[in-house]
Amino acid sequence: MNKISRRFKIIDILLIILMVLPILSCIVIKVVTTPLKEGIVISGASIFFTIKMPFQDLPITESQINSLAVIISILCLCLYLTHGIRDGVWLKRHHFAEIIVEMSKKMVSNNMGDYFISFAPFIVAIIGLSAFSSLVTLFGLYPPTSDLNIVAGWAILVFVLITYFKMKCGPIEYAKSFANPVLMAPLNVISEVATPISMAFRHYGNVLSGSVISVLVASALGGLSKMVFGFLPGFLGDIPFLQVGIPAILSVYFDIFSGCLQAYIFAMLTMMYVSGGFPYELYMQRKKCDV
């Protein structure tokens, strides 16, 4: 391994700071802008301000800010993992980056075929963005995946890609696919429109329901603890003993396992819909005829 220069180390430190700084900024904004509340409070993303637009005002919400922070953090993480590769410096983190690239290519190749191998960066970006957007709730932040607008934007982007590859053989062939068979044409049209809707609501619903259940269980355990141990003298009766441990276990499932699982499912559905809708054999036949 080549000797690491001081400039290299400084850039590494700056990238680490830029990885952490967006999340810390969101935490500070959360603390400053959120008033103290008592009891169970389940609400959507806070609206910080609204930009006046000609047709409809554009609200800037907590989920948008947190989503942007996650994107910046992931970008800096990627830059940190690959920093120095072009300069001939080979570090342990470069092996980790190589593992991510190889695993993403293998996953895309196994599920979509070698034709879609260039989709690997897009798929791993979906998984990373979705997973980290759900994991920010561990820092007390509102997860962007609990906002239907954010997840619907991802689903619309995937729907555009699905339609693009379905139209690879031309708009006429794409229109014919709805009439196969003819009697099923109305249902085929509904199924086409329902694809982004189902993807958005599946991801959004699972993440939001987990957050709601965690809050309700934690609040119920607090009340039960006061009921059971309220007879203890002094401050001991106010300690929520039952809230220790159990909410943490629920957080491990809903915030970590379920969030990562939903990210993987969203990526798998993306690969399935894109590759399944692409008329590969017909496209290759036409390509050979054109040559």
Task: Give the tens place of pLDDT for each residue, 176-224.
Answer: 888 777 778 888 888 888 989 999 988 888 887 777 777 777 777 777 7
CA separation, residue 281 to residues 117, 275, 289 (Å): 17, 12, 12
* Best CA proximity match to 153, nearest among 266, 56, 239: 266
Domain ranges of the chain: 6-290
Q: What is the pTM of this model?
A: 0.83
40 phi/psi in degrees, rounded to 5: -80, 125
Question: Which uninterrupted H or E stretch holds 60?
Answer: strand 58-61
170 neighbors 285 (Cβ within 8 angstroms): no
The whole-number pLDDT of residue 1 equals 44
Distance CA 173, CA 284 (A): 14
Distance CA 284, CA 32 (A): 58
